[in-house]
């Protein structure tokens, strides 16, 4: 099982939900783990049975309500839950995983928005993660910028909050575009408790394809086919 950690304080839920749906339509068994602040995924997927810690949604499973990665793994082992190919984790709480669990993940992705509050909280999260270590550096991170508005998103603005963190970046940031149609789709999906992706812009689909290609061994043609299949399914 491959484990990916997506961290940084910003709303990355839509991106991760879309990504998991694409992977699931590529015949991949996926578990999305909610280690975010405020347990946002319970609201994103309109959970009707909050007593169920692992629920199926849009072809993949979502784990909510776990206080730590250890408690999640204990639950999966005790209940003999099905095996997964990928575990996608949204981690915004430093206590959710210990140092070894962080370091043994297969990929680390730092996700940033452009809101000042989120950037300051992200910088504080990095400080907490580094404080839990002695001489060991944090693992290197891929970078993703979300809610990017053309001509209004200066990457150096984000980098100014991270320059003192001494974190190693793996390549240039991947930018996820945003517009009013994207926001309308987000609201529509949340109210319906579904995950339609067909209305996503071509630019957003291109960036999401690149993110999946960067983290997996899937060929681009297979990702595109999974996109088409996911677009036909409105669950």
Task: Specify if 127 maps to a domain.
Answer: yes
Task: Specify if 30 maps to a domain.
Answer: yes
Task: Specify if 73 maps to a domain.
Answer: yes
The total number of structural domains in the chain stands at 1
CB contact at 8 A, 110 and 8: yes
Task: Specify if 42 maps to a domain.
Answer: yes
CB contact at 8 A, 198 and 160: no
Q: Alpha-carbon Rg of the chain, whole angstroms?
A: 17
Task: Specify if 225 maps to a domain.
Answer: no
Per-residue model confidence as pLDDT tens for the chain (235 residues): 999 999 999 999 999 999 999 999 999 999 999 999 887 888 777 655 556 789 899 999 999 989 999 999 999 998 876 689 999 999 999 999 999 999 999 999 999 988 889 889 998 998 899 888 877 888 999 999 998 877 555 666 667 666 655 688 998 999 999 888 888 888 888 888 789 888 898 999 999 999 999 999 888 889 989 998 888 765 5
Task: Specify if 235 maps to a domain.
Answer: no
Tell me the C-alpha distance between 85 and 80, whole Å.
15
* Owner of token pair 């015949």: 27
Average pLDDT, whole number, for the chain?
Answer: 87
DSSP state of 2: E
Q: What range defines the domain where residue 77 resides?
A: 2-219
Length of the chain: 235
Return the CATH number at 157.
3.40.50.300
Task: Give the pLDDT confidence score for residue 207 in this predicted structure.
Answer: 94
Tell me the C-alpha distance between 8 and 115, whole Å.
12
């Amino acid at each position: 099982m491959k484990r990916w950690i997506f961290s940084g304080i910003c709303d990355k839920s839509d991106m991760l939900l879309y990504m998991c749906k694409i992977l699931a339509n590529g015949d991949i068994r996926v578990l999305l783990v909610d280690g975010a602040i405020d347990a946002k995924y319970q609201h994103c997927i309109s959970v009707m049975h909050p007593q169920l810690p692992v629920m199926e949604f849009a072809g993949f499973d979502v784990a909510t309500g776990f206080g730590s990665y250890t408690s999640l793994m204990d639950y999966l082992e005790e209940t003999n839950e099905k095996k997964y190919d990928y575990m996608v984790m949204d981690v915004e709480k430093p206590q959710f995983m210990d140092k070894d669990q962080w370091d043994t993940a297969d990929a680390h992705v730092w996700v940033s928005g452009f809101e000042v509050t989120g950037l300051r909280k992200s910088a504080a999260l990095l400080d907490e993660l580094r404080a839990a270590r002695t001489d060991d550096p944090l693992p290197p991170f891929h970078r993703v910028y979300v809610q990017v508005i053309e001509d209004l998103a200066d990457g150096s603005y984000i980098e100014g909050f991270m320059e003192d963190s001494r974190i190693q970046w793996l390549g240039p940031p991947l930018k996820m575009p945003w517009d009013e149609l994207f926001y309308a789709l987000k609201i529509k999906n949340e109210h319906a408790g579904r995950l339609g992706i067909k209305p996503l812009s071509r630019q957003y689909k291109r960036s999401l394809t690149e993110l999946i290609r960067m983290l997996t061994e899937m060929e681009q043609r297979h990702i595109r086919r999974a996109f088409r299949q996911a677009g036909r399914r409105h669950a």
